[in-house]
Amino acid sequence: MPSPRLFERIDRVELKNLIKRYGDSIAVDDLTLDVTGGELLILIGGSGSGKTTTLRMINRLIEPEAGTVSINGTDIRTVDPVALRRNIGYVIQQIGLFPHMTVRDNIGLIPRLEGWDDAAITTRVEVLLELVDLPPEMFIDRYPRQLSGGQQQRIGLARALAMDPPLLLMDEPFGALDPILRKQLQEEFSKIKEDLGRTIVFVTHDIDEAFRLGDRIAIMHDARIIQVGKPEELILDPASDLVSKLVDADRKFRHIDNLTVRDLMRPVTRRYFFEGGMPIGPALLAMMEDDLGLVIVTDTASGTGILNRRDAFTHRNDPVTVGDVARRPLVFAPGDSATEALRVLKRKKSPFALVMDRETPAGLFFSDEVLMRLI
């Protein structure tokens, strides 16, 4: 029997005076927090700070001892937990894909239990795979063990979005990935996030991730929230030494005037270089296998170009080469001033630029990453 659609959109998720104890230790201590519709709220804290417990009380995987959680004013204890969870997306660090099911069945399981027909499920799965940048024709019949860590996490996200939930709970979704891949998935996710227009509660212990993705950040310590605010509020007006230590407020903007593009760029290795004459299909495959979001294209008619994965994805079935699809990037020299480079990026509304050491590409300069490293 299909579960009811509990809410079309989220106006407000209210956590009021939540208490949860495990034996003698207190996991969540009188926690009150408001999540506004449409925002990405980060819950950050060390292990044992209560952030995961808090998150799991929102979809009733954990029941609080005292206090209430309400969504759009409805106390969630009055709602059937299974129906509630089908209206809320859930992604965890270990992903937990079902090893005996293909990608299609993993994503389509809840729709199937909801009584959708096969054609509708396949269509939905394909839409979601496109959303997470995995070509459906390549991935739909694979089993989880045939996927890389990053690909598994994309499927985990697609599965969470299967029922188009207006609220999404994410528990360190990128925590198990290696640092470069994590950055890349964060970047993609922050783009997807804009398209989704959903309310997201996101648990992490990584302050960089919190600043990169969060609209607001709630800092947890010893089962309590010690401060909630926008990233700049936490930096400019930390509630305690603990907060300022966490956001590392002293370090910000220290040397920006002395820094060059070379100091802040991301160096590139050989695997980032693709020849202009390469057909687009194999290029996309190679980008998939290495989990690359951007590559540098050499030997095109108009010099060095940049191919991003979205473009490669869009043109994957066209008879074109990498050189045809590549775009001309902004170019800086390693010795350029970082502040000046940032100003140019902002003016041209470009998220990144290519750094060329004379004739050789030396690295990529991302505006958001530069800001991250300065804050």
Binding of residue 63 to another protein (CB under 8 A): no
Ranges within 96-115 binding another protein (CB under 8 A): 96-101, 109-110, 113
Q: Quick one: residue 93, left, alpha or beta (phi over 0 = left, psi -120 to 50 = alpha)?
A: alpha
Binding of residue 59 to another protein (CB under 8 A): yes
Select the residue interacting with another protein from 66, 74, 82, 263 (CB under 8 A).
82
Rounded distance between C-alpha atoms, residue 82 and residue 65, angstroms: 20
Backbone angles phi, psi at 59, to 5 degrees: -110, 20
Select the residue interacting with another protein from 145, 270, 347, 349 (CB under 8 A).
145
Q: How many chain residues bind another protein (CB under 8 A)?
A: 31
Binding of residue 89 to another protein (CB under 8 A): yes
Binding of residue 293 to another protein (CB under 8 A): no
Q: How far is the CB of 80 from another protein (least distance, A)?
A: 10
Stretch that binds another protein, among 69-77, 153-161, 285-293, 311-319 (CB under 8 A): 153-161
Stretch that binds another protein, among 22-30, 116-124, 142-150, 180-188 (CB under 8 A): 142-150
Distances in Å between the Cα of 154 and the Cα atoms of 161, 247, 293 are 11, 29, 14
Nearer CB in complex with another protein: 147/218:
147
Select the residue interacting with another protein from 90, 139, 174, 332 (CB under 8 A).
90
Rounded distance between C-alpha atoms, residue 75 and residue 69, angstroms: 6
Binding of residue 77 to another protein (CB under 8 A): no
User: Where does this chain bind another protein (CB under 8 A)?
Assistant: 3, 59, 61, 82-86, 89-90, 92, 94-101, 109-110, 113, 143-145, 156, 159-160, 162-163, 169
